[in-house]
A and B are shown apart, each in its own frame.
Chain A
Amino acid sequence: MMTRFDDEPPRERIAEMSSGQGEELVKSGELQDGITVFRDSLRTAAERPEAFWTSQRAAITENLRRAAPTLRMKSALIWVPVSVAALVCFFLFMEKPGVPAPDFAVGADQNLLIDVEQALYRDCPEALAPAAALVQEIK
């Protein structure tokens, strides 16, 4: 904001002149009185009754009070996207804990193996089990 009043170098190189040269020009001539009167006139022209300054201060304070919540909200709003970005980064880069996979397959395999084992060691097929039991009783 403050750099708009740009700093172009003057065409002629007169920057080396002594600091008071402009003022010496004033002091040396009759311009001194004129400038003094000019200064006094501008200062007097800018004089205002105390009520004016009080009213101006009141207006400034009122505007500041109105602007303050907005300013606070603005500064708070700046933190919202920052916080969201930080949270996203946190969840993205956070190490995920190892979630155990469901044990359905293991259970099914186990049952199948038990069935196979039973079938291998069984004397007769499962469908003939009641008949086998009768034969055993008769014996």
Chain B
Amino acid sequence: MDVALTHVADENADIQRVEPEEFDGIVARHQRQIYRILLSMVRDDDVADTLTQECFLRAFRERNSFRGESSLSTWLVRIAINLAHDHNRSRRWAFWRKVNHPERLEAIGAVDLHRSPEQTLMNRESVDAIRTAVAKLPERQKIVFLLRFVEEMSLESIAESTGLKIGTVKSHLFRSVEAVKARCNGCV
């Protein structure tokens, strides 16, 4: 990555004049986060991959609308959320979501070399319980929960990414935590 590219990839970089070749640096910097968010929202590897590509294509197409008021990352997350939102609303994909098992998103993280098999099993149960609880959350609560606790985004960034007011983000966060806690009562 050359100096110009590093400059372009800065969080608040002006991407309006970026050419396709230079856009690669921005993709490299953000693709993992965007993919992770999309994967946790759509729960399908291939769809997450496709939507990640679509997210960056859309970002490139609409780069003139990026005014630098938020960070580039927040702006990309917002595009990704809208894509996932559209995807989840689509009837065609709803059918495939039913066909696909949630087990596709395996809790690989439960495998920890520093923990005993018992601990690993407990972790796996905890993760399964939380994952099930999160999956049952309403769409907005789920998004806010994932952005806060998985992506560790600030409340302000979540508000910018989702287009919600910060008060609404707080209330969604509060409700989602309460709901997860209620559903996981005794299992974590």
- A residues contacting B by CB (< 8 A) are 1-10, 12, 14-17, 19, 21-23, 25-26, 29-31, 33-35, 37-48, 53, 56-57, 59-61, 63-65, 67-68, 71
Contact = CB atoms under 8 A, between A and B. Distances in A.
Interface in B72-95: 78-79, 81-82, 85-86
Interface in B139-179: 140, 146, 148-150, 152, 155, 162-168, 170-178
A40 B110 CA distance: 8
A21 B169 CA distance: 12
B21 interface: yes
A42 B40 contact: yes
Contacts of B146: 42
Contact of A41 (B60, B62, B127, B181): B127
A110 B109 CA distance: 109
Interface residues of B, number: 69
B4 interface: no
A7 B169 CA distance: 10
B82 A7 contact: no
A1 to B, nearest CB: 7
Give me the 9 closest cross-chain CB pairs, A-B, nearest first: A15-B167, A41-B109, A34-B188, A22-B173, A44-B109, A64-B20, A46-B36, A40-B109, A41-B107
Nearest to A61: B24
Contacts of B166: 19
Name A's interface SS: helix
Nearest to B186: A30
A47 B21 CA distance: 25
Contact of A22 (B31, B60, B177): B177
A43 B168 contact: no
A45 B126 contact: no
A63 B20 CA distance: 9
Nearest to A14: B171
Contact of B184 (A6, A34, A65): A34
A26 B82 contact: no
Contacts of A21: 170, 174
B13 to A, nearest CB: 17
Nearest to B52: A56
A38 B127 contact: yes
A124 B135 CA distance: 122
Nearest to B37: A46
10 contacts: A1-B82, A14-B170, A22-B148, A37-B123, A37-B130, A44-B109, A46-B39, A48-B35, A61-B21, A64-B60
B107 to A, nearest CB: 4
B168 A7 contact: yes
B5 interface: no
Interface string B95-123: 00000000001111111000000000001
Nearest to A66: B20
